[in-house]
Chain A
């Protein structure tokens, strides 16, 4: 007579179902449109977004749908062209923040309670992230850009680095919860290695919130980039970028010439809302 042991089973992953496609159309459609504009827009705009094409401060007209800015650049062409730059910033920042944040969150979550060097490092890292997160993002961004220089890549990287603590904290919280799950103990008793526990069980079960949060990170990164552009330390002029455009038109707006600030403002708002809505709708449907 033999007693068959029940082989260890993988932890029951929390299934995430994508919501019904029909109900997601209002959420996804703006994002698709934005991506299309980013990809094809610069090819379709009526004027070069970086060349002087008319007298400055012209109001919206048939020739210049969104008017011209203080330099004589076509605002419509620049709003469209800026979509690519700002989306790149947002997507790279979200990706970077998520990848690094997941790694840091996993490490700190699994090692904080341990003794020895790993525990000390994990605890120190957690406090360090708290301190970094307490600093004003714009100020830290200014310092980092002054150090690394200003171009699309460095701006994206800086915005991503600023959001790492947020993602790391989300993942760490999940790790601390998942660590106590019974299936983990079961897997350990079944002989699963620590590495296997980490990669097969803890990683897939604790990183999903960070992935959901990535769309929120996107919106924040675009806003931070716009803020840095508003302060004059974003992309070099006349590179189209919504924040810089808003800053350039701010003084004119206070004198009644509203168009060169309003349209990039609207574009920024639509983009941030669209990406934030994706996360909100997705969380609600879970």
Chain B
């Protein structure tokens, strides 16, 4: 029988060898031709929503195919080939230029001759219709996220002519936040001609259509092939307004497991990997052929929200007590492998022009002080509370374990509850937990935006359910300062931030470095506040 099988077995083996020798590498799903340059990027399974207003979306994909009126320029860092956004200055993108009225309330944008992937030239109607979509679609998050800067595009946006649009804001101090928002994914400008040709009664803003037809924007790339949950292929557009990108083809592959992504780039089978664990990022930073970027002021933060609509954190003293029971340095060291920083207890970015930290309350790990505050609050024997984290968020779970251990000597018995990711999102917006850990990453880094992000009235993002008239009054006063980079503005934010830190509805534990590794074959990686990779800025090292 063995002899009978030998010949067909040999033929099968030979055939298998022949097929595998002729097959393309599995790491280039759609290999570029010899003349084309290509980059392979590995992502976690973060979805492939192809329009921002559909709810779940892939911001990086949209950044490659869409464009904004302005953008934040890139500046070099101390790492070779690595750039980072300057989050406080703005340059033209789809708008060639803009000017601001003397009272700081009207921003006028002059549009370029950009052409969309569908072949239509940019016009003022595209801007107006795009914001009508953002504020009209049921699944859009723009209304909450853009408040109080943009609340009613119908009245705030004005078409001056086919190539000129003005935006009016309520307070001059909101201007820098307006520009920052207009530079981010919330403010993509769509080809309204293409989209309006595909609306229907059931789909009045062509959102469902856009999910299947992603090339309706003015961005540098088109998606030419994709399979949800598996891969996407991007090809550079020759008629992009800022010139043809250097990388012709970008292949994005979904690799759900972070450890597998780390192993793949270590083996040289990928050019960029995203969503690395802090341990993997720290480990890969020691590999000579890889670059793991470290930026000056990362915007991703681990935040502990204390829900103030129920015990025990409806008690200010308890909130102040837990603030002294967080092992900040241990978390930075053990959870983030020193790839995180803590620049004080405040949440306003300390590199903001005009920043003023005078008199801000500071919280450090001090279990004795925490215990004394608990006793003063009426808990001389300590208290127990539940700390909720998402089962999909490994870093928050690790942070919770660190807090549980360190808070015990301070009198806190922390019970950790993990919930599925979808339930966590629902619960945090409904404010049903006692305390929760989450990762926050504001795209706009202006003080008004960061101070308002987690404290807005009736805002889903106000996970602490904390609303304080004194704080809002101080915030509104800071928005009246015309020059938002002045010492006057800094002093105004300081008043609001002081109130926030005294009341401590949430604690910013640490700012976390990006979890990205790049092959030294690639240059031009630029850290962005939306934490995506800008394919158009990449190049290949010779």
Interface residues of A, Cβ cutoff 8 Å to B: 50-52, 55-57, 70-73, 232-233, 236-238, 250-257
A237 touches B258 (CB 8 A): no
Q: How far is the CA of A257 from the CA of B283 in the complex (A)?
A: 11
Interface pairs A-B: 7 shortest CB-CB: A254-B259, A255-B259, A232-B391, A71-B401, A251-B259, A52-B405, A51-B405
Q: Which residues of A contact B394 (CB under 8 A)?
A: 70, 251
Q: Which residues of A contact B333 (CB under 8 A)?
A: 55
Q: Which residues of A contact B398 (CB under 8 A)?
A: 56, 70-71
Q: Which residues of A contact B417 (CB under 8 A)?
A: 236
Separation in Å of the B398 CB from the closest CB of chain A?
5
Q: How far is the CA of A158 from the CA of B258 in the complex (A)?
A: 32
User: Known interface pairs A71-B402, A256-B263. Does A251 touch B258 (Cβ–Cβ under 8 Å)?
Assistant: yes
B488 in contact (CB, < 8 A): no
Contact for B279 among A233, A237, A252, CB less than 8 A: A252
Q: Which residues of A contact B277 (CB under 8 A)?
A: 251-252, 255
Interface residues of B, Cβ cutoff 8 Å to A: 257-260, 262-263, 277, 279-280, 283, 330, 333-335, 391, 394, 397-398, 400-402, 404-406, 408, 415-418, 420
B401 touches A255 (CB 8 A): no
Separation in Å of the A67 CB from the closest CB of chain B?
13
B259 touches A57 (CB 8 A): no
Separation in Å of the B427 CB from the closest CB of chain A?
13
Separation in Å of the B281 CB from the closest CB of chain A?
11
B257 touches A73 (CB 8 A): no
B280 touches A236 (CB 8 A): no
A254 touches B418 (CB 8 A): no
Contact for A255 among B262, B334, B406, B418, CB less than 8 A: B262
User: Known interface pairs A52-B405, A56-B334, A251-B258. Does A232 touch B283 (Cβ–Cβ under 8 Å)?
Assistant: no
A236 touches B279 (CB 8 A): no
B405 touches A237 (CB 8 A): no
Closest to A251 in B: B259
Q: Which residues of B contact A232 (CB under 8 A)?
A: 391, 418, 420
B334 touches A72 (CB 8 A): yes
A254 touches B260 (CB 8 A): yes
B283 touches A52 (CB 8 A): no
A52 touches B401 (CB 8 A): yes
Q: How far is the CA of A70 from the CA of B417 in the complex (A)?
A: 18
Separation in Å of the A265 CB from the closest CB of chain B?
16
Closest to A244 in B: B418
Further contacts, 9 of them, CB under 8 A, given A52-B406, A233-B420, A254-B260? A50-B405, A55-B333, A70-B279, A236-B417, A251-B258, A251-B259, A251-B394, A255-B260, A256-B259
B334 touches A254 (CB 8 A): no
B401 touches A73 (CB 8 A): yes
Q: Which residues of A contact B262 (CB under 8 A)?
A: 255
Contact for B401 among A55, A237, A256, CB less than 8 A: A237
A254 touches B263 (CB 8 A): yes
Closest to A239 in B: B416
B334 touches A236 (CB 8 A): no
Closest to B282 in A: A57
Q: Which residues of B contact A57 (CB under 8 A)?
A: 279
B334 touches A238 (CB 8 A): no
Q: How far is the CA of A49 from the CA of B394 in the complex (A)?
A: 19
From B260, B263, B402, B405, residue with most partner A Cβ within 10 Å: B405
Q: How far is the CA of A51 from the CA of B334 in the complex (A)?
A: 13
Q: Which residues of B contact A236 (CB under 8 A)?
A: 415-418
Closest to A48 in B: B405
Separation in Å of the A240 CB from the closest CB of chain B?
12
Q: Which residues of A contact B335 (CB under 8 A)?
A: 56
Q: How far is the CA of A73 from the CA of B334 in the complex (A)?
A: 11
A252 touches B418 (CB 8 A): no
B401 touches A238 (CB 8 A): yes
Q: Which residues of B contact A237 (CB under 8 A)?
A: 397, 400-401, 416, 418
Q: How far is the CA of A56 from the CA of B337 in the complex (A)?
A: 9
Q: How far is the CA of A250 from the CA of B394 in the complex (A)?
A: 12
Separation in Å of the A227 CB from the closest CB of chain B?
15
Q: Which residues of A contact B420 (CB under 8 A)?
A: 232-233
Contact for B263 among A70, A71, A72, A255, CB less than 8 A: A255
B334 touches A52 (CB 8 A): yes
From A52, A56, A250, A255, residue with most partner B Cβ within 10 Å: A255
Q: How far is the CA of A56 from the CA of B283 in the complex (A)?
A: 13
B401 touches A253 (CB 8 A): no
Separation in Å of the B52 CB from the closest CB of chain A?
29
Q: How far is the CA of A236 from the CA of B414 in the complex (A)?
A: 11
Q: How far is the CA of A256 from the CA of B263 in the complex (A)?
A: 8
Closest to B276 in A: A255
Can you list 17 pairs linking A and B with CB atoms under 8 Å apart? A51-B408, A52-B405, A56-B398, A57-B279, A72-B334, A232-B391, A232-B418, A233-B391, A237-B400, A238-B404, A251-B394, A253-B259, A254-B257, A254-B260, A254-B263, A255-B279, A255-B283
Q: How far is the CA of A232 from the CA of B417 in the complex (A)?
A: 10
User: Known interface pairs A237-B401, A254-B259. Does A52 touch B330 (Cβ–Cβ under 8 Å)?
Assistant: yes
From B334, B335, B394, residue with most partner A Cβ within 10 Å: B334
User: Known interface pairs A70-B279, A236-B417, A255-B262. Does A55 touch B400 (Cβ–Cβ under 8 Å)?
Assistant: no
Q: Which residues of A contact B330 (CB under 8 A)?
A: 52
Separation in Å of the A81 CB from the closest CB of chain B?
15
Q: Which residues of B contact A252 (CB under 8 A)?
A: 259, 277, 279
Separation in Å of the B425 CB from the closest CB of chain A?
15
Separation in Å of the B495 CB from the closest CB of chain A?
38
Q: How far is the CA of A71 from the CA of B333 in the complex (A)?
A: 11
Separation in Å of the A56 CB from the closest CB of chain B?
5
Q: How far is the CA of A232 from the CA of B419 in the complex (A)?
A: 8
Q: How far is the CA of A71 from the CA of B418 in the complex (A)?
A: 15
Q: How far is the CA of A250 from the CA of B256 in the complex (A)?
A: 12
Q: How far is the CA of A232 from the CA of B283 in the complex (A)?
A: 26
